[in-house]
A and B are shown apart, each in its own frame.
Chain A
């Protein structure tokens, strides 16, 4: 598999920061084509800054970002943005259009797509996220989850290679979060999409192929979700919730039950409990 995103020795500092105080310190990683990578870390660890550096919303102090073979620079930034779709945290503040269909069409308008094609692409995208019947609604009459699904439809219509979710589900209720994640899974099946999701949500991290842990502007750990979830209570420090199975394990440990050190899914945990009881 080829690398679609390659970040090398990235340093970033906000203009108001002093020279030795960096928000991102020497970050290097790469993402394979079609991979789903979750970036986790506590608040203020630099995750969002990292995402904005990848599509050129912020320019790094040093280091390079290469997206799909193109090195990010002032010349290539608009080409790169065409390849990257980004969904942000607040569903209200990223809704540009006056109605659902206008919002979905916004990226297409920016790319100068002819109107006939725009109509079909907007409609198809809305059907995919299950929002076709809301096409002419105003954002004020939609729920948070619906607005995020519209934002995703905007991405589907624009057909990016990479989707960056910047805490896209953090302001939603569990139902809305589930719906949005389902939609993204579906998008990934329908098109060969690379997903980079920044999240505190354990389910979102669990559906990733790989998890990157950022702490204080540094990339401190990298591994399969199962490897990361093994950390148990230390997960809270990383800005993640503990999976249900881990919480159960921690509670059992306090009761003096010997629990396996490896990460178990909920099903794995249930199997292990059955075994434990039947062995007694």
Chain B
């Protein structure tokens, strides 16, 4: 079940994009989502697509991963697009009109633009998660949150929480699987019956998982304390991030893209 999930997966690789600083990748991905909204005609969308596809090509990740990334969201996208097409009123040539439903040229064009935006955003965020290990992402978030220390935001603690949470995801998945099988062996049917029966069947999975999480937390806290953990202050860091030339070049290319978009904008 979990293996089909593309979002948040990491595909190991050795491409330029894999080796980029995660901070650069994270910030540039957000920046990209911002500049998508500059685009307002077909030339700008073509420019965005060419840029995205180049980035994907550079990453060396298979196309199918990106298509699979879009798949779970396709109904949401189509729903939005269809609403946009049917209800955006008259503008340009009107092809069809019935009551409040109007299919016009403007509506169709807007629908296509929205579709493009969705696909671009999903492609870029999939590229980010596929080429960056979760651990590096949490490091990047720690660095990016650092300025918030001024307002006494507990940056170290949040970063530690994030990295421990990420580290325990596979462990807890295994545990979930084990408890499910153990309960199945005792006669619990998961995923059968009506919605209430299904919800009831989750209880013998959830409660042991909760209890064991508390035990784990207790053990982990003891182990951390025994190893001298006294809170975030005064710690040195093993893992550091380095901003390299390729990150600067990536930034430059995004700036260039922004300029192209502004020029091409109608």
Contacts and interface: CB of A to CB of B under 8 A. Distances in A.
Interface of A: 52, 55, 57, 78, 81-82, 84-86, 88, 90, 92-99, 101-102, 105-115, 118-119, 122, 138-140, 154, 158
Contacts of A55: 226
Given A82-B228, A111-B228, A101 B238 contact: yes
A202 B166 CA distance: 37
Q: Which of B215, B219, B225, B240 has the most CB of A within 10 A?
A: B225
Given A109-B236, A112-B234, A93 B226 contact: no
A122 B239 CA distance: 12
Nearest to A164: B226
B16 interface: no
Given A98-B135, A138-B167, A81 B226 contact: yes
B227 interface: yes
Given A93-B219, A140-B170, A86 B236 contact: no
A96 B220 contact: yes
Interface in B214-263: 215-216, 219-220, 222-230, 234-240
Nearest to B170: A140
B59 to A, nearest CB: 20
Given A97-B167, A98-B163, A101-B238, A106 B219 contact: no
Interface string B149-170: 0000000000000011011001
Contact of B167 (A81, A98, A112): A98
A98 B220 CA distance: 13
Contact of B239 (A78, A84, A102): A102
Contacts, number: 91
Given A52-B222, A88-B222, A98-B163, 5 more contacts: A88-B226, A90-B219, A93-B216, A94-B219, A110-B227
The 6 closest A-B pairs by CB, nearest first: A140-B170, A93-B219, A94-B223, A105-B238, A110-B228, A86-B226
A140 B166 CA distance: 11
Contacts of A81: 225-228
B226 A108 contact: no
B177 interface: no
A202 B223 CA distance: 25
Contact of B223 (A96, A108, A115, A139): A96
Contacts of A90: 219
Given A96-B220, A98-B163, A109-B236, A78 B228 contact: yes
A65 to B, nearest CB: 15
16 contacts: A52-B222, A81-B228, A84-B226, A86-B226, A92-B216, A93-B215, A93-B219, A96-B167, A96-B229, A98-B167, A109-B237, A109-B238, A110-B229, A112-B235, A115-B238, A118-B238
